[in-house]
Chains A and B, each alone.
Chain A
Amino acid sequence: MSAKYGELGQARGAGRSLQAVYPFVEPPDLQTGETRHCPVVIAGGGPIGLATAIDLDRHGIPSIVLEKHDSVSDGSRAICWSKRTLEILDRLGTGQRMLNKGVTWNVGKVYHGDRPDPIYTFDLLADKAQKFPAFINLQQYYAEEYLIESLAGHPAVDLRWHSEVVAVETSPERVTVTVTTPAGDYQLTCDYLIAADGHRSPVRHMLDLDFEGRVFEDNFLIADVKMKADFPAERRFWFDPVFNPGKTALLHKQADDVWRIDFQLGWDIDREAELDQKTVDARVRALIGGDIEFDYEWISLYTFQCRRMKNFVHGRIIFAGDSAHLVSPFGARGANGGLQDVDNLVWKLALVLEGKAPPDLLDSYDQERVYGADENILNSSRSTDFMTPKSDISTAFRDAALELAKDFAFARMFVNSGRLSVPCTLDQSVLNEPDTEDFSAKQRPGSPCLDAPIMLNGSESWFLNQLGDCFTGVLFSDATGSITDEMRALEDWDIPVRAVIVKPDNGSPSGGAIIDSQAYLHSHYDARPGTYYLIRPDQHVAARWRAFDRTKVERALSRATGHST
């Protein structure tokens, strides 16, 4: 059987030897011959498809996940999981496992030429006191295995291995999906089909849809090796190092003593020769030195693209993850972007399926995530343009920035080895209720909520764990404040708004009040007694006011759920 994921380039290497394989279970649909209807069918059992199914179940929506292959990712692939992704996975149940197993890092270092000291160092965790670090590195197969194992707690998710979507047919009322399995073909119908089927998306091809954007003329070689090395866990990136002259290289630690090594090769190369083990051995030796024993985990030769679909929503078929957008790997914006798709989509889909929001709400997924994808594509394209200059003059500017970086701090800001994924702030969204009062812009309508340590019922906890899945109304009060009956009544609305209260350190913790024990929340959210935030189910700010007003909250909730703008 071929690898679970098609290659952007060519891959070689055995992958991890103990890769989990899952059995094909003949679905009842094959025996009954009846066409079963499920609210949501998901094409693709990678991280995006699995996370979508789990999130849907949190909203009580059953789904069927169809995965063509019988295993998790064959190689490390996506390795850098961002803070926002870990927060999303924490809501879905696997964030803590990811953190425990992964290699935590916040610092990146950029080197130039033969200088032993970095010309530039960056710390990606701007706000300290967060539950999750800026990044962890963990092989993609672990992320998938954890999601699969967590399905034990989600019996309404029906994950079907060896099940390939081979045809889709749409009508105004439903989507009909034809599935091929080792035991024969069958059909399913659904209200919505989520195409989480990767960068070569068969569903996208079935609909005759394509990507728009740029393909870059450069080749990169990933050699993930297993070795005992005491290199730091930081992201180390080289421009023009002695071991890869005139090109770039990257070294980054993963779990289980696996290291990601990435070499820029240039455009005119002999692909077969570059994948020859002796050639790869020589490249790896030149970087790590002659003494360290190593073995290969995964080797891949790739080119990259910065492209996306024009629209992610096509009637009852919705694209998420790599099927919808592709970027270069240097910003860790692929899988991290895809999980933000899931976070954004699922609550909207749930409200539409429950009849509580108009189908137009899904247009905001298209708008918000196209905006997010464009941000990722812009950053990724700029990094690539810096690493792979297209002309002599671009090369001259790049080299000038690198040389000046030695003496001038400003020039280091131009040095671009990848601008790593930061959560997207949905500034342009139609779902936002614009500020009408004086507030700091640090957190604003459209911002993903910033975490902070809190005390809850006498124990240490985190703010983000109090938000999500449904709308939340957060009242910041003085020490003696309380949730009013009017706020409490919002919990019984058609679309409930859970009421929570945040009090300063000297406030009474009774009634489940969140105690802002280190005052981070009041600072991050520019809060005064009376300040009220309406937070979306995906932990983004929908609206905020200096005082609670039922009519205003009602209007903002209407707007945030696609009823009116």
Chain B
Amino acid sequence: MKSEINISDPDGFYSSLIDLHEGLSTDESLIVNAKLILMMANEIGDRSILDEMLAFLRNPSEDQSR
């Protein structure tokens, strides 16, 4: 799991991410976010990385390694 930034122009990406949700209701945004997570997970592919992320988000306070 990467800690350092791996995206060039993070402000530009963040802005595109917000734009993606422009005009959507909160329910619609939840679905869009879920689709985005599934697409990104498939792109990452590596189960060990995905599992590491899930474990961190489940118990963020226990992981002090970074």
Contact = CB atoms under 8 A, between A and B. Distances in A.
Interface of A: 379, 382, 385-386, 391-394, 397, 401, 403, 407-410, 413-414, 416, 419
Given A407-B60, A407-B66, A414-B10, A393 B3 contact: no
Contacts of B63: 407
A397 B21 CA distance: 11
Contacts of B11: 379, 382, 414, 416, 419
B14 A414 contact: yes
A391 B26 contact: yes
A433 to B, nearest CB: 27
Nearest to B60: A407
A393 B5 contact: no
Contact of A410 (B6, B21, B26, B30): B6
B61 to A, nearest CB: 9
B43 interface: no
Nearest to B18: A394
21 contacts: A382-B11, A382-B15, A385-B15, A385-B18, A391-B21, A391-B26, A391-B29, A393-B29, A393-B30, A397-B14, A407-B3, A407-B56, A409-B3, A409-B5, A409-B66, A410-B2, A410-B4, A410-B5, A410-B10, A413-B7, A413-B10
A290 B4 CA distance: 40
Contacts of B33: 393
B55 interface: no
B11 to A, nearest CB: 5
Given A413-B10, A416-B11, A397 B4 contact: no
B26 A397 contact: no
A236 B3 CA distance: 24
Interface residues of B, number: 22
Query: 4 tightest CB-CB pairs across the interface, nearest first?
Result: A393-B29, A410-B5, A413-B10, A413-B5
B37 interface: no
A397 B19 CA distance: 12
Contacts of A410: 2-7, 10
Contacts of A392: 26, 29
Given A407-B66, A416-B11, 15 more contacts: A379-B11, A391-B26, A392-B26, A392-B29, A397-B18, A401-B14, A407-B3, A407-B56, A408-B3, A408-B66, A410-B5, A410-B6, A413-B5, A413-B10, A414-B11
